Structure 1
Amino acid sequence: SAPGPYQIERNWGVMDPTINPTKEETYEFLDNLFGEMTALFPDEYFHIGGDENNGKQWDANDSIQEFMKENNIKDNHDLQAYFNKRVLEILTKHGKKMIGWDEILVPGIPKSIMIQSWRGVESLVQSAQEGYKGILSNGYYIDLMQPASFHYLNDPIPVDSPLTDEKKKNILGGEATMWSELVTPETIDSRIWPRTAAIAERLWSSQSTNDVDDMYKRLGRVSFLLEEHGLTHIKNYDMMLRRLTNDQSIKELKILVDVIEPVKIYTRHSQGVKYTQYSPYTRVVDAARPESNRAREFNKCVQEYLETKNAEKAKTIKYWLDTWRSNHEKLLPVISQSPVIKEIEPLSQNLTNISQVGLEALILLKEGNSAPTKWLDKANALIESAKEPYGQTEIHVIKGIENLVKATE
């Protein structure tokens, strides 16, 4: 829709280049392209995308603006609707059903299309009420580094859905999406697996299947079976840590990285690093797993201890707090020989600090004493400081330690 030249985009984000929907040559090209593609792929659906059009090139193109006036097209949303309907005609001609993101749902478009919803359950419900088939992807974006429990409890048809039983039939399921801006062949398996197995179970199970603890017990076994079939989400972890330590011992680094996770949602793009296709995705944040099993198990152990005061739980908590408290001094020589991990040195120090806080809280709880105000103020300040991310990673045992401190009040 704008004069060239164009080139392959190497940065990430929503870009300006947009196809010109007012030219007949556009539809001739798409007809030929779709003809080739539909002959190769037998699936009954053809995904047209349809989102992230910022409209800048349409606004700046005089001929497009003139076309809109002549055809009573009032804005870019309606222009895209015009384009989608033309595309639908071509796909129908080639024997395919059109699927696209929420944006393709416009007044008057035939019920034969399918909506893939990135907006969420409310948008999916609306399209289902209007008689359109749909699948949910909101809540299944596995590149956002959210825990398996979050995905597992995200049902395409919630228990409180306003849909009638008949309308519920319009929601066919969901699809996990792995957007690949921040992954490489070395890391992609660790971003997809094993969390996507939890999504799979969500989508083939009834709403009443929602026992998160039971899911995690089985997910560990599934993770092992996936590796047996050749996936690299487990084995590449140690390999990447060895590279980060310049072939030194990875023991101390692993103790730290085992309890940290990459920052969530799209935060990684906004923390001082400009990522491109050429960026080296070989840092600690790339080795760190999307969900720390060690942190999750520790936090749960704390919860169970606070509920039961079980002595064995207390021993487990103390073991890990002792390990983390002493780890920083052991890691410093490794950091001095491996500048690439210098960025997470403050994280290591913070883990030591809050582990000491946790040990002190554990003693107070065992003795049945309330914490002095001065101690509480210092402990809470250290915990708040430890929530700061470094190297686009965060400590994830903070919740458990914070709960220990709260229990001493």
Structure 2
Amino acid sequence: MNKFCFFLFLLFTLSGSLTGQPNMLMPVPQKIISGNGEFRFTGGFRILVNQPTGSRAGAGVSRFIRRLDNKTHLLLVKEWLTKKPEQQKDLLAISCNTVAKLLPGEDESYLLKITPEGCELTAPADIGILHGLETFLQLIESDSKGYFIRSVTIDDAPRFTWRGLLIDVARHFSPVDVIKRNIDGLAMMKMNVLHLHLTEDQGFRIESKVFPKLHQYGSDGDFFTQEEMRSLIQYANVRGIRVVPEFDMPGHATSWFVGHPELASGPGPYTIEKKFGVFDPTIDPTRKETYVFLEKFLTEMCELFPDPWMHIGGDENNGKQWDANPKIQEFMKKNGLKDNHALQNYFNTKVMAILKKNKKKMIGWDEVLQPGLPADAVIQSWRGKEGLEAAAKKGHQVILSNGYYIDLSNPAWKHYTNDPLPANNNLSPDEQKNILGGEATMWAELVTPENIDSRIWPRTAAIAERLWSDREVNNIPSMYSRLARTSIRLEECGLEHITYRAKMIRRLAGNRNIESLITIAGLVEPLKDYKRHAQGVAYSTDLPFTRLPDIAAADAPVPLAFKDLCETWFRKKDPDVIPAIRAQLEEWQPLHGEVQIAASGIPALAPWLIVSERVSKLSKIGLESLHYVESRAPVPDAWVKESYTTLSEAALPVQECELMIAESVMMLFQNALPK
């Protein structure tokens, strides 16, 4: 099997079909009723909409037409619809009644009807129209006669009202173009919240005209101007997405103190933190001047960000500066604050009052949940389901992020099976209503604008489905099948989660043939969870993030497809897959020699040789295993011992990566052992 044939196998293994059949939709709609026949696009196909061009729905239809034209070359026409057309033939009639305010609990439902005569999309509010258009685009199929959609009725609405993505622009800054293309990705997947983590020890990323030293001293020049932020907010709004800002306090606040050391609980001077972790600098919650400052700053930000919610962080305050400050300790005794948790709750309550004065609701991480916290504070749960349920039982609305940390490079199935409200939850029906939904979190210690898309997509699409579709939609093979197809669609909005790899490798290899290097990068995944930080590299914002673990990505599709082949043989004893397994191993076996040529004289590529050598050795073991199984020849003890040593070594981390074919080759090896 040559590379092209294996690529086809990969697509059909993971995608199942390249058509737009209703069972390939992502996220899965609430209700699908298949009809008879199909709707065929013709040269006379028209789109009629009852909303003006400048409206959210009208602008959404314009983008929809552009995407449909780019895909089909149909050269569509949009017309103003004043009443329901008498003739439904050869058209898509779109209508809605209201303009959504983009608040949690908004009606996002839509009804899409496809018949052989024509198509109709209706929704109570314009955001439902946007969701329905995304579904329509997924349904399009083609054959030699042209483009068509199978007859179907889809009645759809989200399960959870809060379906978000957090992008940390503070540790590593991501500019406007990166944020915009990810907003488009969110809209494509029917998500509705962009949570921007704007301040951290490593950077203060929003312009303040009231306190300009915050961004001038705390950003290294990388920040959003207020004009840029207004543009982003508007860009998101017309796509049905809210922008929720986070200003992390009282901890994770070093960047605040570079320009305003008077806010800190310990003596300065301060510089922007370059390393990652939990650091001591913390806002002083005992000084009246602190709250005068925060009221002016937060009032400015409340005017800039129209969303009713504002996030204050509140996580990972180690309290060391508070413990070491005699004035703070005296304040705690005087006010009956028994520990740092009580002091932080005092701070949170003060900040919450400022936000309420500006008609905002406060969101904070788990740590803000302390006795006495007003029930209208929203809790974002990152430490576990226990915290989520505890907050909900106390009457707080809750957003789940635990289990959705996409920066940790875990496979999509782990996020997909992490339900905010599993069937075995311990909440009453009323308490369950407090679970707003969830957010994927893209923390930015180990990402840059160059590779951030590959960390967010396509896995976040699996989270999007978890938050949109019913709990019973949980078949992992089906999810992966649709995720592969979705990944390709996501490129339509400019996302670079597929194309980034070749560009990053070309930087290292110049004008050499990089095919073998691309193959190697596709056979490994970055170490999961926080294991990269334990491999001897002291990561900081000054380091280049252009090495193999930065170029690799989670859920590498080629090893997944190869594993499927090996499991089919290992567990089902299906001999028909052996030729495909052998062909792939034969393709990988010479990789080490090819990488040696590509990396010759390039020190930055020297670490790749360690990986390619392992790949070639594993391929050799795999081919020899097939030989012993098929020939039934005696298996030498020396070969077993040597192969096992090689396989054990291959299972260990290499260049801060996991070699994802090691487990599959181990299956082949075990099949060859004497029974």
Distance 2:433 2:536 in 1: 46
Aligned to 1:295: 559
1:13 aligned to 277, 283, 288, which one?
A: 277
Q: What pairs up with 1:66-77 in 2 under 5 angstroms?
A: 66-77=330-341
Cα shift at 1:265:
1.2
RMSD: 1.7
After TM superposition, the score normalised by the length of structure 1 is 0.95
Q: Does the residue aligned with 1:177 lie in a helix, a strand or coil?
A: strand
Identity of aligned residues (%): 47
Shift of 1:373: 5.2
Question: Does the aligned pair in 1 maintain the 2:501–2:518 contact within 8 Å?
Answer: no
Superposition TM-score, scaled by structure 2 size = 0.59
Structure 1 position 254 matched with structure 2 position 518: yes
User: 1:105, CA displacement in angstroms?
Assistant: 0.5
Q: Which has the larger radius of gyration?
A: 2
The residue type paired with residue 2 of structure 1 is G
Contact in 1 for aligned 2:651/2:663 (Cα 8 Å)? no
Q: Paired residue for 1:387? A: 651
**Worse overlay, 73-82 or 13-22:** 73-82
Q: For 1:305 and 1:166, locate their aligned partners in 2 and report how far apart those are by CA, in whole Å.
A: 49
- Partner Cα distance (1:368, 1:156) in 2: 51
Aligned twin of 1:174: 438
Q: How many residues align?
A: 409
- Aligned residue number for residue 67 of structure 2: none
Is this contact kept in 2: 1:246–1:338, CA < 8 A? no
Instruction: Sort the Cα spacing of 1:12 and 1:224 in 2 relative to 1 into closer, same or farther, 3 A.
Output: same
The answer for the alignment partner of 1:162 in structure 2 is 426
Aligned to 2:481: 217
Kept in 2: contact 1:10–1:276 (CA 8 A): yes
Which segments of 5 or more consecutive residues in structure 1 lack a partner in the other structure? Answer: none
1:32-181 paired onto structure 2 within 5 Å:
32-181=296-445
AA matched with 1:14: V
- For residues 155 and 374 of structure 1, the distance between their equivalents in structure 2, rounded to whole angstroms, comes to 48
User: For residues 129 and 366 of structure 1, what CA distance do their matches in structure 2 show?
Assistant: 61
Query: What is the rounded CA distance, in whole Å, between the counterparts of 2:577 and 2:313 in structure 1?
Result: 50
- Indicate the structure with greater helix content: 1
Point out the more displaced range, 81-90 or 171-180: 81-90
For the Cα contact (< 8 Å) 1:353–1:382, is it kept in 2? Answer: yes
Once residues 635 and 669 of structure 2 are traced to their aligned partners in structure 1, the CA distance between those partners, rounded to angstroms, is 8
Q: Which stretch of the first structure deviates more once superposed, 354-363 or 80-89? A: 354-363
1:344 alignment partner in structure 2: 608
Give the distance between the partners of 2:612 and 2:664, measured in 1 at CA: 17
Counterpart in 2 of 1:396?
660
**Structure 1 313/10 Cα, relative in aligned 2: closer, same or farther at 3 Å?**
same
Query: Quick one: which amino acid aligns to residue 161 of structure 1?
Result: N
Secondary structure at 2:440 match in 1: coil
Matched with 2:623 is 359
Alpha-carbon offset, residue 312 of structure 1: 3.4
The answer on whether the counterparts of 1:157 and 1:168 sit within 8 Å (CA) in structure 2 is yes
Does structure 2 retain, via aligned residues, the 8 Å contact 1:244–1:283?
no
1:332 and 1:100 map into 2 onto residues whose CA distance is: 51
Supply the distance in 1 between the matched residues of 2:558 and 2:296 (Cα, whole angstroms): 53
Q: CA deviation at 1:303?
A: 0.8
**Contact 1:344–1:390 (Cα < 8 Å) also in 2:** no
Residues 112 and 371 of structure 1, relative CA distance in 2, 3 Å threshold? farther
For the 8 Å contact 1:261–1:395, the answer to whether it is kept is yes
**CA distance in structure 2 between the partners assigned to 1:241 and 1:90 by the alignment:** 49
Structure 1 counterpart of 2:418, which letter?
Answer: N
**Which amino acid is the alignment partner of residue 244 of structure 1?**
L
1:35 and 1:290 map into 2 onto residues whose CA distance is: 41
Q: Could you tell me how far apart the structure 2 residues matched to 1:322 and 1:84 are?
A: 61
- Counterpart contact for 1:116–1:135, Cα < 8 Å: yes
SS at structure 2 position matched to 1:100:
strand
